[in-house]
Amino acid sequence: MLVKAFRADLLKAKGKGLWLLVCLAPVGLIAMQALNFGLRYDYLTSIFAGKLWIGLLDNLSMFVPIALVMGITIVCSLLANIEHHTSSWKQLLALPIPRSAVFGAKFAVAAVMLGLSCVLLTLGTVLLGLALRFGIEMPMADILALSFFPYLASWPFLALFLWLCMTFRNQAVPMTLGVVAAILTLFGISEWVPVSWPMLAFTGPKREWFIGAGLLVGAIILLIGMLHFSRKDVH
């Protein structure tokens, strides 16, 4: 049932701008750093002499968490709006598919789309570094960590915003919360606060803790969201 619902959601996502967003977010981050290094090439290469790839990753890492949380918010909103705008929740839930499968399928679609963004960010980072003549001895483990660790640590936001977007027809509440959460990722509030986890998952001394916490809390919120959605009256 989950696989069928997943395939159906992928088909419904066509022509909704979701795949364009998935591609634009990493391309935008790479383009911003291309401009940054292009305008200040001599200055930045002198600062990061001997560790040019690390310098590129440091500059990227400041913007990955905010872009990630904003991307999560928009993707979840667009996915939920497929049904909200057509008022097709009742028809969808009348099908012989468990509500938990409907919720889980949308989560899986969002997770796959955001995962693809991470893949594109990895490829873009490698291509940018090569274009800037940083050499072929690149820290591939760090590049992959920057692309995927913040994503895994941000699963609480993925589960929460999908839940909110599917619950509220008016997307103002989840979108506002998403913007606030994205901005807060720029400030190191506390390691106990989830908005800090995407950044700490890459820069923190014990990155695996924040990745594990993100996956665990995300799974808990996902389960709560499924239970709530399964019992909620949908109009």
**Is 101 inside any structural domain?**
yes
pTM of the model: 0.91
Return the number of other C-beta atoms located less than 10 Å from residue 84's C-beta. 17
Is residue 235 in a domain? no
pLDDT of residue 212: 95
Q: Is the pLDDT of residue 84 over 90?
A: no
Write out the residue range of the structural domain in which residue 66 sits: 2-230
Q: What is the total residue count of the chain?
A: 235
Alpha carbons within 13 angstroms on the beta-carbon side of residue 234 total: 21
| Residue 211 located in a structural domain | yes
Residue 17, pLDDT score:
78
Whether 171 is covered by a domain: the verdict is yes
**Is pLDDT at 234 greater than 90 in this prediction?**
no
Please give the average per-residue pLDDT across 53-71, as a whole number. 93
More confident residue, 177 or 231: 177
Which residues, 6+ apart, have CB-to-CB distance to 79 below 8 Å?
Answer: 9, 13, 18, 106, 109, 110, 162, 165
Domain count within the chain: 1
